[in-house]
Amino acid sequence: MQDSFIEQTVTFVKERLQHAESGHDWWHIQRVWNNTKLLLETESADRMVCELTALLHDIADSKFHDGDEEIGPRIAGEFLTRIGVEKEIVEHVQNIILHMSFKASLGKVTFHSKELEVVQDADRLDAIGAIGVARAFNYGGYKNREIYNPDIPVDQHLTKESYKNTQAPTINHFYEKLLLLRDKMNTAAGKKIANSRHQFMESFLQQFYGEWNGER
């Protein structure tokens, strides 16, 4: 029964994300799902809730729906109810989706659970390391941003409101978000993996500045 819920959800999500932008396409979902399973090897949390949330967490991005933060949880909830998942699990999944985004975490946090910790870590792991670098430059290119501009300070501070409105170069995104994620990890397993991915980004940046300045 449980496996059938997962299978049906995979089919639903793949179908819905067919034309999604590449930052949140099926491959992002698959990586977050894999990260979730990896974390669950050592973290104890409800497997069903974690896996379903990993699969459904980016089903509808509020960015593309006039900032409607409820649309993702609503679509996820309707789907899970339709396939017969019990109410308690449906509501838990919806609560996690609503509260787990980086943007939500900049505001007042009102919901908490072990399962949220696991899936949020799994999602954050996909924003750092080599994949994180690739996703950031992909996003920056999509927005036609400069990769780097030495005249623009990298340490400007962003609020929840200004976060999406900046036209800063992509390197700035490392300082406003990517390099901060390591210290925001919830679980022991997540922290450990984040550590090595963080180090990779540090050495990427070192190499980047070296090449930028024409060093050998």
Q: Shortest Cβ distance from residue 171 to ligand ADP (Å)?
A: 9
Q: Select from ligand ADP, Ni ion, none the partner in contact with residue 51, using the beta carbon and a kind-dependent cut-off of 5 to 8 Å.
A: none
Q: Among residues 132, 35, 119, 201, which one has the least CA distance to residue 111? A: 119
Q: Shortest Cβ distance from residue 1 to ligand ADP (Å)?
A: 30
Q: Which is nearer to Ni ion, 43 or 123 (CB)?
A: 123
Q: Which is nearer to Ni ion, 121 or 123 (CB)?
A: 123
Q: Select from ligand ADP, Ni ion, none the partner in contact with residue 169, using the beta carbon and a kind-dependent cut-off of 5 to 8 Å.
A: none
Q: Shortest Cβ distance from residue 143 to ligand ADP (Å)?
A: 7
Per CB under 5 A, contacts with Ni ion among 41-100 are: 58
Q: Which residues of 58-94 are buried (b: 16+ CB within 10 A; e: fewer)?
A: bbbebeeeeeeeebbbbbbbebbeeeebeeebbebbb
The beta-carbon contacts of 188-191 under 8 Å, at least 24 apart in sequence, are 188/42, 188/43, 189/38, 189/39, 189/41, 189/42, 189/43, 189/121, 190/39, 190/43, 190/117, 190/118, 190/121, 190/122, 190/124, 190/125
C-beta separation of 77 from 94 below 8 A: yes
Q: Which of 51, 117, 121, 123 binds Ni ion (CB under 5 A)?
A: 123
- Which positions touch ligand ADP (CB under 6 A)? 23, 101-102, 123, 127, 132, 135-136, 139-140, 170, 173, 177
Q: Shortest Cβ distance from residue 58 to ligand ADP (Å)?
A: 6
Which residues here bind Ni ion, judged by CB under 5 A? 58, 123
